[in-house]
Structure formats: C-alpha cells, structure tokens
C-alpha cells in the first residue's frame, strides 16, 4: 500500500515558467496537443477490442491510437485490422511489454503520450483530465492516477491501485522511487514527448525490463530531473484475470522476487547515473517475503542475512528521509517476522490467493 509520505524534500520546486524542466514541456502555445494512446498487446484477441474502443471513445478530440501487437499467435491481428485507419497498427516479433512500448513510442506523433495495456480500459474523460493537468502545470513532465481493480468482466472489486495516491506535484527524488513511494500502473501513466525522449528506449534485451515499463520510465524521468503530478482519482479499470502472468496461486513468490530484482536494477541505474551508491530497502523486504514463501524458516541463514542488509539500507536512508526510513525499517521487520501476514495484506494487487509452502525445519 502506498503510504502518505511528505513529498517535500531538498529538491528545489520548479517555477511556474518551467525553467527547471523546460525540456519536459509541451509549451503553452499548444492549445489542443495531439495525444498518442499506445496500446500494447500479446495474445489478448478476446479483450483488445474493449481497450481500443475505450481509447477511441475518449471525449478529448485530438488523439491517435497506436496499437502494437507483440507477436501474438491468436486472432489479435485480425481484431486490430477491423479498425482500419482509426488506429495505427504496429506488428512486431515478441519481445515483451517494454519492447512493445518502444515500438509504439517510435511510431507515435503525439505531444503527450499515454499507455494502455490491451486487457484494461479507461474512463471516457481520462485523456481530457490528463491534458488539463499538463496545461495547468507546464512544469511537470508526467502525470499518474489510480486505477480501479476489477474482475474479468470489469466488475469493480472495491479497491484501487495504488490504494492511496496524493494529489499534487512529485519531485524527482530518487528515494521516493527506489522505495516505491510513488506508484502508478502502466495504464495510469502519461508523459510529454520531450520527457519520453529522455527515457526511451527501454533496455528490454537483458530480460529485467521485459515488463514494468511504468517503474523504469518514472525512475528515468526522476533521474533527468523531471517533476511529475499524481491524481488521487481512478480514471480507468485494471482487469484481473486468469491469463495474467502472475495470476496463479504459486506465482506470488516469483512476482515478489521479480519486484526485488527490478528494485535492485533501479538502484544500480541511479548509482551509475549519479556516481553515488544508492540502495533500496524494498529489495530486502521483498526477498525476505519471497524466501519465506518458498520454504525458508525464520532461522535460516539467508533470511538473517537479508535482514541485516535491509537494516543497513534503512540506515543509509536515515539522513535524507528519516520518516521514510522509520517506515521502511518497520516494514522490513514485519517482512522478516510475519511474511505471510505481509503478503496477505498486499496480495490482492496480484489477483490471486496466497498458498505459502510449509517452512523448512532448518
């Protein structure tokens, strides 16, 4: 769950002329900027029409819809073809979500770009709301909002991702991103072209960034000094269904370990780009849970090593963010002592049930 964290930091606030962030502006002279909606798809031929329809039904008039099919083997391309010149089709070999967004960004023409997975849908006024924020805040380069979690037939389940999101400016503070204090889903992320040009292409070839385009892009925006804006409102529907990669009960540990690997990769990117060593306590929190779910007992040496490394990462966080350090320290202790409770508290964002393995005796 995203907790309320003071976004005010040592990062200077941008002025309203956008001088700190001039490269991440569309410009006030653009009255109705072209918005490119990039839809990525892989084997969701039974769902993609709903995503395309929700894009084409936007109340904002100046849009283009770019649909990237990532090497589907089902009827997806036939469905896309039915839309004719109402969409810009991009067909490519399979490479994952991030490679699909790379292709979509290269093909689109918009001043503002917004992303949509092919199994999700948007509210009709989503693009209009996002454009309004960009025009009222020329100093920001990206905008994020909540999504309503639904079942397979788009029936709301009573909660959102993220659970909480502050409305307002988000500074390019590395710790807010490394500690996952700023969360929006892929389908809740929009950005100016000039910001995208400083983040794309996403390096998907090594396999780490096959998915999770939102985490990579928002971190790169922050590295480039680009401010964001988050909205504590849901402007779309995030569908949970059996076809998702991590939807099965035995997949939670793999998903948590994947999140730890991504957090580790983000810390390394920040380290390389700034010349200063960065850590993410999220790495150790997630691995403490993953090891417990895969059978390691609380007495195993691996779990105690992860606890020690996690405490060291929290100590590193104390000076720049004392309140955040206290929160993350408590979370690491909970992940160590009560991993199943921690997982049950957050598992709903994976759309599955928790079925932990029996802990080993040694």
Highest mean pLDDT range out of 6-15, 135-144, 180-189? 135-144
Beta partners for residue 40, in sequence order:
68, 117
pLDDT at 224: 94
pLDDT in tens, 75-90: 999 999 999 999 999 9
Residue with tokens 């039915």: 82
Q: What percent of the chain has pLDDT over 70?
A: 84
**What pLDDT digit, counting tens, does each position of 282-325 carry?**
999 989 988 888 888 888 899 999 999 999 999 999 988 999 99
Q: Between the CA atoms of 197, 262, 210 and 216, what dihedral angle is there, to the nearest 10 degrees? A: -10
User: How far apart (Å, rounded) are the C-alpha atoms in residues 283 and 281?
Assistant: 5
Q: Which domains does the chain have, with CATH numbers?
A: 19-239 (3.90.550.10), 249-350 (no CATH)
Separation between Cα atoms, residue 129 and residue 74, nearest integer Å: 34
Which pLDDT belongs to residue 119? 95
Mean pLDDT across 327-340: 90
Strands (E), 219-268: 227-239
Q: Is 232 helix (H, G, I), strand (E, B) or coil?
A: strand
Q: Which two tokens stand for residue 197?
A: 């040009």
What is the per-residue pLDDT for 22?
A: 37
Q: First CA to last CA across the chain, in angstroms? A: 32
212: CB partners within 8 A, 6+ apart: 97, 98, 262
Distance, CA of 288 to CA of 296 (rounded, Å)? 9
Helix (H, G, I), strand (E, B) or coil at 30: coil
Q: What is the pLDDT of residue 79?
A: 98
Question: At residue 346, does pLDDT exceed 90?
Answer: no
Is the full-model pTM beyond 0.75? Answer: yes
The tens digit of pLDDT for each residue in 86-114 reads 999 999 999 999 999 999 999 999 999 99
Give pLDDT, residue 105. 98
For 61, the token pair is 């008039």
- Binned at pLDDT 50, 70 and 90, residue 16 comes out as very low
Q: Is the pLDDT of residue 204 over 90?
A: no
Closest CA to 88 of 113, 69, 112, 71: 69
Of 88-97, 111-120, 208-217, which range is least confident?
Answer: 208-217
Whether residue 36 is predicted with pLDDT greater than 50 in this model: the reply is yes
Query: Peptide bond before 201: cis, by omega within 30 degrees of 0?
Result: yes
């Amino acid at each position: 769950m995203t907790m309320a964290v003071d976004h005010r930091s040592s990062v200077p606030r941008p002025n309203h002329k956008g001088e700190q962030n001039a490269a991440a502006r569309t410009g006030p002279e653009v009255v109705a900027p072209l918005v490119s909606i990039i839809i990525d798809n892989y084997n969701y031929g039974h769902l993609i029409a709903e995503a395309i329809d929700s894009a084409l039904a936007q109340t904002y008039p100046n849009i283009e819809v770019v649909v990237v099919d990532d090497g589907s083997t089902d009827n997806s391309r036939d469905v896309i073809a039915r839309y004719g010149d109402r969409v810009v089709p991009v067909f490519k070999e399979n490479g994952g979500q991030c490679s699909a967004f790379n292709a979509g960004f290269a093909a689109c023409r918009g001043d503002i770009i917004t992303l949509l997975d092919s199994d999700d849908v948007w509210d009709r006024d989503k693009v209009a709301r996002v454009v309004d924020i960009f025009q009222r805040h020329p100093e920001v380069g990206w905008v994020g909002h909540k999504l309503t979690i639904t079942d397979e037939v788009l029936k709301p389940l009573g909660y959102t991702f993220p659970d909480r999101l502050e409305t307002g400016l988000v500074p390019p503070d590395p710790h807010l991103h490394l500690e996952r204090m700023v969360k929006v889903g892929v389908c809740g992320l929009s950005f100016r072209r000039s910001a995208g040009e400083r983040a794309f292409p996403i390096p998907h070839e090594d396999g780490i960034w096959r998915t999770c385009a939102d985490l990579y892009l928002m971190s790169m925006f922050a590295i480039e000094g680009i401010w964001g804006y988050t909205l504590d409102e849901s402007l779309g529907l995030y569908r949970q269904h059996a076809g998702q990669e991590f939807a099965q009960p035995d997949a939670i540990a793999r998903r948590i370990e994947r999140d730890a690997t991504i957090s580790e990769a983000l810390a390394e990117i920040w380290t390389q780009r700034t010349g200063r060593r960065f850590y993410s306590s999220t790495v150790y929190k997630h691995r403490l849970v993953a090891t417990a779910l895969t059978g390691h007992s609380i007495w195993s040496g691996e779990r105690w090593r992860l606890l020690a490394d996690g405490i060291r990462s929290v100590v590193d966080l104390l000076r720049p963010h004392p309140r955040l350090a206290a929160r993350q320290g408590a979370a690491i202790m909970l992940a160590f002592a009560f991993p199943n409770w921690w997982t049950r508290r957050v598992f709903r964002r994976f759309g599955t049930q928790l079925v932990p393995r029996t802990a080993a005796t040694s």
